[in-house]
Amino acid sequence: MQLPQRVFVGALVVPMLLASVGTAFRSDPEISVGHLVFAVRSSEIVLAGTAGTDAERQDVVDAVRVLTASHRITDMITPNAGERMPVPPAVVSGLLGVVLDQGVTEFTGVVRKGHLTASARVADPDRAGELSDALRAAAPDLRVDEDFTSA
């Protein structure tokens, strides 16, 4: 074998073969945790984010749909095989149930990597405290940061 051929085989072909063998023997594809955004605006609930499968997306939508018949649900969750929802459907419905039970009509929540960032417009500081406590109780495994303003 001539030197240019050896260089080509050593520099390109061998690493490609090793990479393909490593990929073939990997038992589980890496699945990362995605994100979820949910917002309540008057009579609409908006869901956005990523789900590992269409079934996972549908489970979240169904869990929210059970909460209320008076809100329109807009589903913008996109299936992505490499990501899964950051929380199970029961946690999503628990968080939204708290928001709806508190009568909050302006709320945005973002769940990502064990963290909930919540923003809401509430009637007064007492209601803000009640909402804060209820969100923490509904999702004890999430760190909650909030930004509530009084109307």
Q: Positive or negative CA dihedral for 23, 82, 136, 149?
A: positive
- 108-114 mean pLDDT: 95
Spatial contact of 80 and 50, defined as CB atoms under 8 Å apart: yes
Q: Give mean pLDDT, residues 136-142.
A: 95
Strands 72-79 vs 83-84: parallel, antiparallel or unpaired: unpaired
In tens, the pLDDT along 5-58 reads: 554 444 444 455 444 444 444 445 577 888 999 999 999 999 999 999 999 999
- Furthest-apart CA atoms within the chain: distance in Å: 81
Crossing angle of helices 89-101 and 125-138, in 10° steps, is: 160
Buried-state track 30-65, b at ≥16 Cβ within 10 A, e below 16: eeebbebbbbbeeeebbbebbbbeeebbbbbbebbe
% the chain with pLDDT above 90 = 71
Residue 105: alpha-carbon gap to chain centroid: 21
Over residues 76-88, the pLDDT tens digits come to 999 888 899 999 9
Put the strands of the sheet holding 143-150 in their side by side order. 72-79, 44-51, 35-41, 106-112, 115-122, 143-150
